[in-house]
Amino acid sequence: MKKLINAVGDVVPDTLRGMAAAHPSLRVDVENRIVLRAAGPTPGKVGLVSGGGSGHEPLHAGFVGYGMLDAACPGEIFTSPVPDQMIEATKAVDGGAGVLHIVKNYTGDVLNFEMAAELCAEEGAHVVSVLVDDDVAVQDSTYTAGRRGTGATLFVEKMAGALAEQGAPLEAVAAMARTVDARSRSFGVAFSACTVPAAGKPTFDLGPDEIELGIGIHGEPGRSRERFREAREIVRVAMDAIDADLPFSGDVLVMVNGMGATPLMELYVAYGEVDAYLREKGATATRCLVGDYVTSLDMAGFSITTCLLDAELTSLWDHPVETPALRWGR
Ligand X SMILES: Nc1ncnc2c1ncn2[C@@H]1O[C@H](COP(=O)(O)OP(=O)(O)O)[C@@H](O)[C@H]1O
Q: Which residues are catalytic?
A: 56, 218
DSSP code of residue 236: H
Residue whose CB is less far from its own copies, 36 or 173 = 36
Cα dihedral 201, 260, 65, 110 sign? negative
44 by Cβ neighbours in 10 Å (0-12 / 13-18 / 19+) ranks as exposed
Cα 138 off chain centre by: 17
Strands in 47-54's sheet, in edge-to-edge order, are 26-29, 34-37, 71-77, 47-54, 99-104, 127-132
Say which entry of other proteins, its own copies, Mg ion, none residue 58 contacts (CB below 5 to 8 A, set by partner kind).
Answer: its own copies
What track of x and - describes contact with its own copies for positions 279 through 298 (by CB under 8 A)?
------x--x-x-x--x-xx
Distance CA 226, CA 215 (A): 12
Binding to its own copies by residue 62, rule CB under 8 A? yes
Count other C-beta atoms under 10 Å from residue 115's C-beta. Answer: 15
Say which entry of its own copies, ligand X, Mg ion, none residue 107 contacts (CB below 5 to 8 A, set by partner kind).
Answer: ligand X
For residue 251, what are the β-bridge partners? 284
The single residue among 6, 32, 144, 249 that binds other proteins, judged by CB under 8 A, is: 144
For residue 252, what are the β-bridge partners? 285, 308
Say which entry of ligand X, Mg ion, other proteins, none residue 139 contacts (CB below 5 to 8 A, set by partner kind).
Answer: other proteins
Half-sphere exposure of 12 (CA within 13 A, CB side): 25
Cα 300 off chain centre by: 17
What backbone phi and psi angles, to 5 degrees, belong to 305? -125, 135
Binding segment toward other proteins, per CB under 8 A, in 56-64, 196-204, 226-234, 309-317: 196-204
Sequence-ordered list of residues with C-beta below 8 angstroms from that of 42, at least 6 positions apart, any chain: 70, 95, 165
Helix (H, G, I), strand (E, B) or coil at 274: helix
Binding to its own copies by residue 55, rule CB under 8 A? yes
Element (H, E) at 252: strand 251-258
Say which entry of ligand X, its own copies, Mg ion, none residue 238 contacts (CB below 5 to 8 A, set by partner kind).
Answer: none
Binding to ligand X by residue 144, rule CB under 6 A? no
- End-to-end, the C-alpha distance of the chain in Å comes to 40
Region 238-257 residues binding its own copies, contact defined as CB under 8 A: none
Cα 292 off chain centre by: 11
Binding to its own copies by residue 201, rule CB under 8 A? no
Binding to Mg ion by residue 79, rule CB under 5 A? yes
Binding segment toward its own copies, per CB under 8 A, in 63-71, 88-96, 117-125, 223-231: 223-231
Say which entry of other proteins, ligand X, its own copies, none residue 262 contacts (CB below 5 to 8 A, set by partner kind).
Answer: its own copies
Region 69-128 residues binding ligand X, contact defined as CB under 6 A: 79-80, 107-108
Please give the residue ranges that form the binding site for Mg ion (CB under 5 A).
78-79
Q: Which residues bind its own copies (CB under 8 A)?
A: 2-7, 11, 14-22, 54-55, 57-58, 62, 191-192, 208-209, 211, 228, 230-232, 234, 260-273, 275, 285, 288, 290, 292, 295, 297-298, 300, 302, 327-330
Name the site residues for ligand X (rule: CB under 6 A).
79-80, 107-108
- The residues of the shown chain that bind other proteins, judged by CB under 8 A, are 53, 75-84, 106-108, 111-112, 114-115, 137-139, 142-145, 148, 196, 198-199, 201, 203-204, 216, 218-221, 223
